Structure 1
Amino acid sequence: MTPSATAPAATPGAASPAAAPAPAPAAAPAVDRPLLIELLTVAQRRLARGLTAQLEAEGCTLDQWRVMRALTDDAGRSMGELAQTLLIPQASLSRIVDALAEAGWVYRRQDEHDRRRITAHLSRRGHTRLTRLDALAAAHDAAVRTACGSEDPGPLLRHLTEA
Structure 2
Amino acid sequence: MSNQSETALPAATADLVDLLTRAQRALARDLGTVLEEEGTSVDQWRVLRALDGAEGRSMGELAAEVEIPHPTLTRIVDTLVDSAYLYRSQSSRDRRRVSVHVSDLGRRKLRRLDALAAAHEQAMAARLGPDTVATLSAMLRSVRERL
Q: Same fold (TM over 0.5)?
A: yes
> 1:21 maps to which residue?
none
> 2:71 maps to which residue?
91
Asked if 1:43 corresponds to 2:26, the answer is no
**Residue of 131, 142, 145 corresponding to 1:159:** 142
> 1:67 maps to which residue?
47
Judged with a 3 Å threshold, the aligned counterparts in structure 2 of structure 1 residues 88 and 128 are, in CA distance, closer, same or farther, namely same
Deviations 1:35-65 (A, max 9, x none): 1111111111110011101111211111111
RMSD: 1.8
Give 4+ residue runs of structure 1 displaced > 4 Å after superposition: none
Counterparts of 1:84-163 in structure 2, within 5 Å, are: 84-150=64-130, 151-154=133-136, 155-162=138-145, 163=147
Asked if 1:56 corresponds to 2:36, the answer is yes
| Alpha-carbon distance, 1:161 to partner | 4.4
Judged with a 3 Å threshold, the aligned counterparts in structure 2 of structure 1 residues 158 and 74 are, in CA distance, closer, same or farther, namely closer
Q: Which has the larger radius of gyration?
A: 1
Calculate the TM-score normalised by the size of structure 1: 0.75
Amino acid at match of 1:159: S
Whole-angstrom distance in 2 between the partners of 1:84 and 1:116: 20
Calculate the TM-score normalised by the size of structure 2: 0.83
Structure 1 stretch 131-140 or stretch 35-44: which is displaced more? 35-44
| Alpha-carbon distance, 1:158 to partner | 2.8
Whole-angstrom distance in 2 between the partners of 1:145 and 1:153: 11
Counterparts of 1:19-38 in structure 2, within 5 Å, are: 35-38=15-18
More helix by share: 2
Whole-angstrom distance in 1 between the partners of 2:60 and 2:68: 10
Structure 1 stretch 97-106 or stretch 149-158: which is displaced more? 149-158
Q: Relative contact order (alpha carbons < 8 A, sep ≥ 6): 1 or 2 greater?
A: 2
Whole-angstrom distance in 2 between the partners of 1:59 and 1:153: 32
Asked if 1:76 corresponds to 2:56, the answer is yes
